[in-house]
Amino acid sequence: MITPLQQRLSQRAKALLNHPQGMGNYFTFKAAIDILGLSWDKLVPGGVYNITGPGYYDMGYMANHIGPPKSALDAFIAASRHENLVVYPPDCMPELKHLVADHKFGRKLGADFEVMGVEGAQGGIGYTYLSFLDQGDEVIVTDPGYFHFVPAAEICGARIVAIELNEANGYRLSPKEVEAAITPKTKMIVVCDPINPFGTVQTKEELLAIAEIARKHDLIVFNNITHNTHRTNPKAVQIPMASLHTPATPMDHVISVSGMSKGYGMPALRVGFMAGHPDLIRGAFLTKMEITKIHINYPGQYAALAAMQDKEYVKRSTETIRRNLAHLEETIASTPGVTMPISPDYGFCTMIDVSGTGVTAQEITVGLLNHKVAVIPGDGLGQVKCADYIRLNYSHPDIACFEQFRKALPKAISEAKEGRYAAAVDAFFAKAGTERGRIIRNRIAPRLKKMAEKV
Ligand SMILES: Cc1ncc(COP(=O)(O)O)c(C=O)c1O
């Protein structure tokens, strides 16, 4: 499904047009807006990535809905001055680099550790892939995993080797499975910790074992820790891999990434950080310079500096997130056919499994939007249980969001069971034309057939 004009696109761009994780090809509440005949202007005015329409609640993409601390807003406004806007700022101010190194990555800046500013954690993903991946390299990632880990690597010519997250591995990367997935072509292991979408964290032993495997095979470890600010489970401990650097366990092959969107509720700043050995960061710095230049806006940097020092904000927002999770877990426990495979340890994302309902996650997504809750089903996050999983963002500051979800979920399931959305979801995937879409269509087909027979 490439138009004649699109033949002029690069192979990279062409590969995205029909990618199952390419935006528009996977199902979200946005597809549900069209299916329900709702107004884009009212629900997502200006094309934002979360539902902001009155009366609606967003549990979809991973913005932290608590929003920024006041300290960060004040710093942002104070820094929005003529002299800060009239120059090209540095990639990161020295004080910000120091703070990020200590506070986020747990390692001192120095001859063997450097921090570079990037456009959000996503910028860190892009520059890590661009700086290390060549055609034919293999990258180990989890399935499910964050949307962009797969397509972003593939547009660099790399091949994905997926490790399924499941009950047996505790929804974490198992070093044994990582070792088994390595071939002579392996170049990188993506360690997203906490893991988007389950919110699980790796143990220290697992991290050391993965680092050791990577050292043995001359690989890069990409450690994305952007969801580590809020400890949802008071007993859990998340450890940045950079902080495990010792003479006996050198972490110079680890690239670390974080950002301001999740922990501090400021995705619009587009401020993030990429860190590692200066020899490696130099390659990424030059890559970045040639593509988007090295500068990160000053107001955003000052806001980041203030936010990361605001301990009270993190404490309060963690309390809100824990409250929300407790409410959500009660809802899931009392909804037949729905389970939460594992309780999250950190961050504010979790997965629910709706396979016991007999209908697809995509149909339930439409039903949920019909009852004013926006969510994203699993097909954008991977192949595993792509018709069964729904990812939920549980950061909303208003408990009314979770009350609404409690009311909406059984209604959405029952509407989906009536078959109200089956044909429209089927049509969405027929148009997307992806293999993954076919799996979902195959799940809907017998019910569509039965419905047609009844008519
Ligand atoms: C694991 C992970 N990495 C990166 C990002 C992008 O974050 P940012 O807004 O900082 O670019 C997200 C957002 O959901 C994420 O979940």
**pLDDT by 10s per residue, the chain, length 455:** 789 999 999 999 998 999 999 999 999 999 999 999 999 999 998 888 889 889 999 999 999 999 999 999 999 999 999 999 999 999 999 999 999 999 999 999 999 999 999 999 999 999 999 999 999 999 999 999 999 999 999 999 999 999 999 999 999 999 999 999 999 999 999 999 999 999 999 999 999 999 999 999 999 999 999 999 999 999 999 999 999 999 999 999 999 999 999 999 999 999 999 999 999 999 999 999 999 999 999 999 999 999 999 999 999 999 999 999 999 999 999 999 999 999 999 999 999 999 999 999 999 999 999 999 999 999 999 999 999 999 999 999 999 999 999 999 999 999 999 999 999 999 999 999 999 999 999 999 999 999 999 87
Cβ count within 10 A of residue 110: 9
Q: Is 376 helix (H, G, I), strand (E, B) or coil?
A: strand
The answer, yes or no, to whether any atom of ligand 1 lies below 6 A from the CB of 265, is no
Could you tell which of 104, 226, 381, 391 is best to mutate to test the pocket of ligand 1, judged by most ligand atoms within 8 Å of the CB? 226
Q: How remote is the CA of residue 121 from the centroid of ligand 1, in Å?
A: 5
Pairwise CA distance, residues 436 & 385, whole Å:
10
Q: Which atom of ligand 1 is nearest to the CA of 122?
A: 11
pLDDT score at 455: 78
First-to-last alpha carbon distance for the chain, in angstroms, is 33
pLDDT score at 47: 82
The answer, yes or no, to whether any atom of ligand 1 lies below 6 A from the CB of 121, is yes
Q: Which residue has 């506070």 as its token pair?
A: 103
Task: Based on DSSP, count helices (H) and strands (E) in the chain, helices before strands.
Answer: 17, 12
Cβ neighbours for 145, distance < 8 A, ≥ 6 positions apart: 162, 165, 190, 192, 195, 196, 197, 381, 382
The answer, yes or no, to whether any atom of ligand 1 lies below 6 A from the CB of 189, is no
Structural domain spans, the chain: 5-67+312-454, 70-307
Cβ count within 10 A of residue 380: 24
For 5-67+312-454, CATH number out of 3.30.420.10, 3.40.640.10, 3.90.1150.10, 3.10.440.10 equals 3.90.1150.10
Q: How remote is the CA of residue 210 from the centroid of ligand 1, in Å?
A: 22
DSSP-derived letter for residue 192 is: E
The answer, yes or no, to whether any atom of ligand 1 lies below 6 A from the CB of 272, is yes
The answer, yes or no, to whether any atom of ligand 1 lies below 6 A from the CB of 142, is no
Could you tell which of 21, 23, 122, 195 is best to mutate to test the pocket of ligand 1, judged by most ligand atoms within 8 Å of the CB? 122
Q: How remote is the CA of residue 126 from the centroid of ligand 1, in Å?
A: 11
Cis ω on the peptide bond leading into residue 194 (within 30° of 0)?
yes
Please list the helix, strand and coil fractions of the chain in percent, rounded to the nearest 5, in that order: 45, 15, 40
The answer, yes or no, to whether any atom of ligand 1 lies below 6 A from the CB of 197, is no
Using alpha carbons, list the distances in angstroms from residue 102 to 2, 107, 269. Answer: 48, 5, 21
Domain covering 70-307 in this structure, CATH number = 3.40.640.10
Cβ neighbours for 8, distance < 8 A, ≥ 6 positions apart: none
